Structure 1
């Protein structure tokens, strides 16, 4: 009987430990996100594949490694009925069709670079905007743009290497 009780105690302890450690591994939204909502995004990077999701202005992609972004997924949470739409300008293809809410913009498995992005919100409350900026081959970080403006370049054959996206009000 004692052995069984001890095993149950150890198992309960281990379950509590796993649960508490899992909260450390899942990034918490920024403090302002509770009132603004969150923007989550994931980049597919040359030779690395899909990176983990990042949010609210964090860097997706790489800096200083000369690796191209090949695809991107973006979604907004915490704002009911708000959708994020985006499209990519892809090497050799040009502008793709608009996608939304976590769908893939760009290509996976084709070794084609993203060269520019446009991102916008649909059904956003008044005063809400989505801002983003791109890190570009040989140029570094561009300034922030918003609400469907172009981040990156077209016609210059320059790869996007990283992106930051944030919601603002």
Structure 2
């Protein structure tokens, strides 16, 4: 793993997990284990919540969870590793926002704003997704979105929530 040569400290990342195929709970547990082995220390885990599909809405419900992870990986290494974990756990990319055994999104990486063709940090849809903000608020309600300059609690409070 690469270390940050400037600070010699680990990076703080928030990852969102989602699963709506197969044994969803088992897949989330396996994902957390693989993240701990390949990415870094999981310092906090939100509750697992069940939510309706987003984007394409006629799909099975998702189990969602957010993790706070400390890693020595840089963003492009992190996305590469999360994609490898998804593939290993049976993720098939057939349809945008389609069903999946596992989805791992990088929500935040430190307080950085980072954009490449394959990765945008912070995740561009954080402020629109109840299923991300609700568990994120459990573990990091005061963390400030580096672009929107609002903390997660404020973003969550501004959403129209599903009943």
TM-score, L = length of structure 2:
0.26
Q: Which is greater in Rg? A: 1
TM-score, L = length of structure 1:
0.26
Q: Whose helix fraction is larger, Structure 1's or Structure 2's?
A: 2
